[in-house]
Amino acid sequence: MNVVDLSSSLSEQNSDGTDKTTPDATASGKTILEIVPDGDIYVSVGDDVNGTLGDDMNGTVTYLVRAATLEAMSDLWAILVHDANLHGQSTYRGEQIIEDETVPTGAENDALSPATLSDRGSMPEIFLPLDYHETIAITLIAAHHRNWMLPSAIDVELLGELAVHCRTFGTEYLVTQVAEPWIERLASSALERGCHRWLHIAWVFQLDCIFEAQLDYWIWHSTGNAVQAGLFGPELAHHGKLGRDLQGKGSVEG
Q: Tell me: do 188 and 135 sit in the same domain.
A: no
Closest Cα partner for 80 from 117, 124, 22, 14? 124
d(CA 181, CA 115): 43
- State the Cα angle at 106 between 102 and 108, rounded to 5°: 65
Q: Is residue 7 part of a domain?
A: yes
Q: DSSP assignment of the chain, as one string? A: -EEEEHHHHHT-B-TTSPBPSSPPPPSSSPEEEESSTT--EEEEES--TTS--STT-TT-EEEEE-HHHHHHH-HHHHHHHHHHHHHSEEE--SS---TTSPPPPHHHHHHHHHHHHHHHSS--EEEETTS-HHHHHHHHHHHTT-GGGS-S---HHHHHHHHHHHHHHT-HHHHHHHHHHHHHHTHHHHTSTT-HHHHHHHHHTT-HHHHHHHHHHHHHHHHS--SSTTTTSTT-TTTHHHHHHHHSSSPPP-
Q: Tell me: do 143 and 160 sit in the same domain.
A: no
Distance of CA 174 to the CA centre of its chain: 9
Q: Tell me: do 57 and 144 sit in the same domain.
A: yes
Helices 196-204 and 156-169, axial angle in degrees (round to 10): 40
Range of the domain at 54: 2-149
Q: Is residue 252 part of a domain?
A: no
Tell me which of 113, 132, 149 is where a domain ends: 149
Tell me which of 149, 169, 204 is where a domain ends: 149
In this prediction, residue 206 carries a pLDDT of: 85
Closest Cα partner for 226 from 236, 239, 212, 208? 212
Q: Is residue 234 part of a domain?
A: yes
Q: Is residue 70 part of a domain?
A: yes
Strand 31-34 to 61-65 pairing: parallel
Helices 106-120 and 75-87, axial angle in degrees (round to 10): 30
Tell me which of 98, 125, 149 is where a domain ends: 149
* Count of domains observed in the chain: 2
Q: Tell me: do 16 and 92 sit in the same domain.
A: yes
C-alpha to C-alpha distances, 107 to 67, 94, 112, 170, nearest whole angstrom: 12, 27, 9, 21
In this prediction, residue 198 carries a pLDDT of: 86
Q: Tell me: do 141 and 178 sit in the same domain.
A: no
Q: Is residue 253 part of a domain?
A: no
Q: Is residue 96 part of a domain?
A: yes
Q: Is residue 226 part of a domain?
A: yes
In this prediction, residue 249 carries a pLDDT of: 38
Q: Tell me: do 32 and 101 sit in the same domain.
A: yes
Output the tens digit of pLDDT for each of the chain's 254 residues.
Answer: 444 444 444 444 344 444 443 333 343 356 789 999 999 999 999 765 334 444 444 568 899 999 999 999 999 999 999 999 999 999 997 655 454 455 455 555 555 544 444 344 588 999 998 778 899 999 999 999 999 999 999 999 999 999 999 999 999 999 998 999 998 888 788 877 777 888 889 889 888 778 877 777 777 667 766 555 444 443 333 444 455 555 543 333 33
Q: Is residue 17 part of a domain?
A: yes
Q: Tell me: do 181 and 241 sit in the same domain.
A: yes
Residue 120 falls in which region: left (phi positive, over 0), alpha (psi -120 to 50) or beta: alpha
Q: Tell me: do 145 and 160 sit in the same domain.
A: no
Q: Tell me: do 65 and 97 sit in the same domain.
A: yes
Q: Tell me: do 9 and 103 sit in the same domain.
A: yes
Q: Tell me: do 132 and 179 sit in the same domain.
A: no
Closest Cα partner for 204 from 246, 142, 162? 162
Q: Tell me: do 51 and 172 sit in the same domain.
A: no
